[in-house]
Chains A and B, each alone.
Chain A
């Protein structure tokens, strides 16, 4: 029977890993993964892998020598459970397909392999540590996958959005590319907008009499201004002496942490504490 105008069957192109034949996925374009691997050379890859895991930190060594390959971490992983218990989504499988293979081949892997690793550790794991908590030995599997994220970051291979956020933190110490002037302008604009709602409604900037320093997420002054509005109102009604910092670092988020950019992570945390010290704050209040 021929059905007129029936939609043509869409055959989705599948990616099958050449290293692990059970790893079958839909092809999803992402220029952070597809285009960036063109810059990689085998030497760069090997050098980066050795720099991150070559020293065999005690945590990596502990995992490699203790993991008995029992697979009990599988049912801890929500990715594994959501994908109908596909074994390539289990935490130990993710380790096998990334770091174990890197160690086995002594860092001599190609750009396609790095892209595959990036896909696994950025889009098939969110480092929630559930696996680490459920492992009978207490092996920190999520930490290990975080190290693979670091390797991919240092090689510049990450999902495009993650790339953008990581670079925003490097360049501006916040996740939304705001300069210090943009931040102050935004706070003052929000203060103007809500000024009619309550008498004495302010968003103090660099208030040295403050006891509480509020630190928003980068998105708040840029796309979620209602958050700062509400915080200001709550502080007023609660009678809290508060302030926001007038200079970097004001954004308490750290997308740098998601890509394991240690240097920027340090700059962020140091900047937050330096603001607290400068304003002699008693309590740092983070939005999240």
Chain B
């Protein structure tokens, strides 16, 4: 506990490990996208059919809740997944505590969420993660294709938000220890993104481009 709450640990987590986490996240993600595009170039049947217009149309169509039929068929899942992703992405970016750190490090500031809103958004992430976990366990079509890696990436996404929430409210562990844990889990998540299926966050745009280009761009059919 002494180690966990120590300033020494904080300095490592807040200092060099931030660099490592972001470099691995940004560099690793770029590398993954680059290699996939290079592979696709060699395949010869991909790039000739890619249409930027169809890609954009398709991305918009699927990024709007209830726009596509499959989103409409599963309203609960759709609501949960959109809430989860929106809060997951925007809470860390607009959180006051994080913005203070950016200002400390780089002197840059931007708008912050009111604290109570940020709290609710964090709770949304926590509860939707629990929903996803229950889904994995109880829905037969999901259980059949659930492996340990699925539980792992769910945990990796869940823990930064859970520990962040606890740190803010100063529950469970001494504040400094919880903050250190939170930073650690956040960095683990960033580092894990290029190496796991959390990378769907950038692959989405490429795969959506393929399907949109084929069905909307080439065949002029509905994107469903």
Contacts and interface: CB of A to CB of B under 8 A. Distances in A.
Contact of A136 (B37, B62, B141): B62
B210 A59 contact: yes
Interface residues of A, number: 36
A96 to B, nearest CB: 5
A72 B77 contact: yes
A133 B73 CA distance: 14
A66 interface: yes
B197 A68 contact: yes
Most buried by A among B46, B70, B206, B209: B70
A65 B203 contact: yes
Nearest to B201: A66
Interface in B1-38: 32, 36-37
Interface string A57-95: 111011101111111101110001000010110101100
Contacts of A140: 207, 210-211
A136 B70 contact: yes
A256 interface: no
Interface string A132-155: 111111111000000000000000
B144 A22 contact: yes
B150 interface: yes
A67 B140 contact: no
Nearest to A57: B43
Given A57-B43, A72-B74, A138-B58, A93 B141 contact: yes
Interface in A21-65: 22, 56-59, 61-63, 65
Contacts of B210: 59, 62, 138, 140
A137 B208 contact: yes
B224 interface: yes
Interface in B133-180: 139-147, 150
B145 A62 contact: no
Contact of B145 (A56, A59, A93, A136): A93
A75 B70 contact: yes
Contacts of A70: 142
Contacts of B143: 87
What are the 6 closest A-B residue pairs judged by CB atoms, nearest first? A138-B211, A58-B39, A58-B40, A71-B142, A74-B141, A66-B203
Given A69-B145, A74-B141, A137-B211, 10 more contacts: A58-B39, A59-B210, A61-B36, A61-B39, A65-B32, A87-B140, A136-B70, A137-B208, A138-B58, A138-B207
Interface of A: 22, 56-59, 61-63, 65-72, 74-76, 80, 85, 87-88, 90, 92-93, 96, 132-140
20 contacts: A58-B42, A62-B203, A62-B210, A65-B203, A68-B200, A87-B143, A87-B144, A90-B141, A90-B144, A92-B141, A93-B144, A132-B211, A133-B215, A133-B223, A134-B68, A137-B207, A138-B62, A138-B210, A138-B212, A140-B211
